[in-house]
Amino acid sequence: MQSLINLWNDTGIAHIESGQAIMMLVAFGMLYLAIKKGFEPLLLLPIAVGTLMVNIPGAGMGWSAAEAAIRSGDAAVLAQFRDLLGLAPDASMQAMLDAYHHATAGLYKKALTLGASLGFESGMLYTFYSVTIASGVAPLLIFMGVGAMTDFGPLLANPKTLLLGAAAQFGIFGTVFGAVLLTDAGLMDFTLQQAAAVGIIGGADGPTSIFIASKLAPELLGAIAVAAYSYMALVPLIQPPIMKALTTDAERKIKMVQLREVSKAEKIIFPLAILVLVALLLPSAAPLLGMFCFGNLMKESGVVERLSDTAQNALINTVTIFLGLSVGYKMSSDAFLNGSTLAIIVLGLIAFCVGTAAGVLMAKLMNAVTKDPINPLIGSAGVSAVPMAARVSNKVGLEANPQNFLLMHAMGPNVAGVIGSAVAAGVMISFFG
């Protein structure tokens, strides 16, 4: 009879909490956006499924061996954990979970070892998260694949546009400062690390956001990743009003000089030049930019096509599947359903807007200073969100002048924005390292 009770206790209905139900609705919302609206489905669909899974009551797919042990409720097990965590003998299960989640690295690992040695197993999503995100490997491999898909040609033809990619990073740092000010004013409640992790959304670059969030504020990773990918999908809605508000019709009609052709040698040496600059100036950006340049070098060298092909296909696809599910691990109701998420959604949007504006204004400044005309509309592409932002520049440009194709011109700042936000990420790692 006991097993019948076990079985009932094992059903989800017996245990579902409102938070979990809400998170399931959030997951369905993401699925709707991914499938029906085409919002970055490659990430949002796995994230949504991961969110569904982690919120199945009692399934424990997001539990570590330690959490599974504590939640088992077994008196002997609990006693050992109370000892390890230094809690009073009457500490509640929730108190133990809290102590475990906020333990130092050493204690956290001891708890994991204890749980495993008592025969408990970590859930699938926890395992995926540990291997892909906590280790930092998955974002790096995605960066490698993206590097192998990136063409630096337009950027090399007009290297000045790197500055547009620099300016747009003000979306990141301005937002960090804004979050700090709002916290100071008592309107939000972020540490500096958290503010930095939120600001990186303005980099409009998914893997960079996940990489930084996993290092500086893993407790916010779910919301940050979802916000980053959602806003990247919303670039065609977010950017045009800002672009139009900051430019005159005449500016939007500016025709740019045709881009020169770029030689193979330049394309091969460019990623190496970035690597050398990283080595000399900002070693903390070495993992992200190193893998990015490695991917690009594999592509441009032309001598390792089979590796480049795998990096762009089987490997990046595999990593994307696991990365998405793993982000889902951070979408538990207690991590997501709180004020921070709301603040992240607001600040993330602000970051995108500020970045867009900074890019456009920088382009206007450069247009005023340099010889060759620069259409300010390509400035917005500096936020990255490759290639969506460049397409937006092109589209808004065509509205002003149906003969003016800005796509190629905008691809320069667009890929510059990827470099720019990786540099910004390096600064953060170095700042908090």
Q: Tell me which residues touch Na ion (CB under 5 A).
A: 203-205, 384, 417, 421
Tokens for 319?
């990593």
The least CB distance from residue 169 to another protein, in Å, is 5
Which of 68, 167 has the CB closer to another protein?
167
Residue 226's nearest CA partner among 66, 336, 62, 360 is 336
Among 87, 95, 365, 427, binds a second copy (CB under 8 A): 427
* Residue 6 within binding range of a second copy, rule CB under 8 A: yes
Which among another protein, Na ion, a second copy, none contacts residue 137 (Cβ within 5 to 8 A by kind)?
a second copy
* Residue 149 within binding range of a second copy, rule CB under 8 A: no
Question: Based on the number of CB atoms within 10 Å of its own CB, is 372 exposed (0-12), middle (13-18) or buried (19 or more)?
Answer: exposed
The least CB distance from residue 224 to a second copy, in Å, is 20
- How far is the C-alpha of 147 from the C-alpha of 298, rounded, in Å? 9
Which of 97, 233 has the CB closer to another protein?
233
Which of 288, 407 has the CB closer to a second copy?
288
CA distances from 158 to 153, 257, 408 (A): 9, 10, 10
Which among Na ion, another protein, a second copy, none contacts residue 196 (Cβ within 5 to 8 A by kind)?
another protein
The least CB distance from residue 275 to a second copy, in Å, is 6
Residues numbered 39-58 forming contacts with a second copy, rule: CB under 8 A: 41-42, 45-46, 49, 52-53, 55-58
Which of 283, 373 has the CB closer to a second copy?
283
Which among Na ion, a second copy, another protein, none contacts residue 264 (Cβ within 5 to 8 A by kind)?
another protein
Which among Na ion, a second copy, another protein, none contacts residue 166 (Cβ within 5 to 8 A by kind)?
another protein
- How far is the C-alpha of 6 from the C-alpha of 58, rounded, in Å? 12
Question: Based on the number of CB atoms within 10 Å of its own CB, is 370 exposed (0-12), middle (13-18) or buried (19 or more)?
Answer: exposed
Question: Would you call 327 helix, strand, or coil by DSSP?
Answer: helix
Which of 217, 291 has the CB closer to a second copy?
291
Which of 49, 223 has the CB closer to a second copy?
49
What's the 3-state SS for 264-309? Answer: HHHHHHHHHHHHHHHHHHCHHHHHHHHHHHHHHHHHHHCCCHHHHH
- How far is the C-alpha of 311 from the C-alpha of 144, rounded, in Å? 7
* Residue 263 within binding range of a second copy, rule CB under 8 A: no
Asked if residue 313 lies in contact with residue 164, where contact means CB atoms within 8 angstroms, the answer is no
Host H or E run for residue 101 = helix 93-101
Tokens for 352?
């995108």
Q: Long-range CB contacts (< 8 A, 24+ apart) of 263-266?
A: 264/300, 264/302, 266/156
Residues that bind another protein (CB under 8 A): 3-4, 7, 155-156, 159-160, 162-163, 165-166, 169-170, 172-174, 176-177, 179-181, 183-184, 191-192, 195-196, 262-266, 269-270, 273-274, 277, 281-282, 305-306, 309, 416, 419-420, 423-424, 426-428, 431
Among 92, 102, 135, 248, binds a second copy (CB under 8 A): 135
Tokens for 375?
């259409």
Which of 315, 383 has the CB closer to a second copy?
315
CA angle 345, 350, 353 (to 5 degrees): 130
Which of 267, 391 has the CB closer to a second copy?
267
The least CB distance from residue 305 to another protein, in Å, is 5
Which among another protein, Na ion, a second copy, none contacts residue 130 (Cβ within 5 to 8 A by kind)?
none
Which among another protein, a second copy, Na ion, none contacts residue 93 (Cβ within 5 to 8 A by kind)?
none
- How far is the C-alpha of 217 from the C-alpha of 102, rounded, in Å? 12
The least CB distance from residue 48 to another protein, in Å, is 18
Residue 409's nearest CA partner among 419, 418, 397 is 397
Helix, strand and coil in the chain, % to nearest 5? 75, 0, 25
Among 181, 187, 314, 342, binds a second copy (CB under 8 A): 314
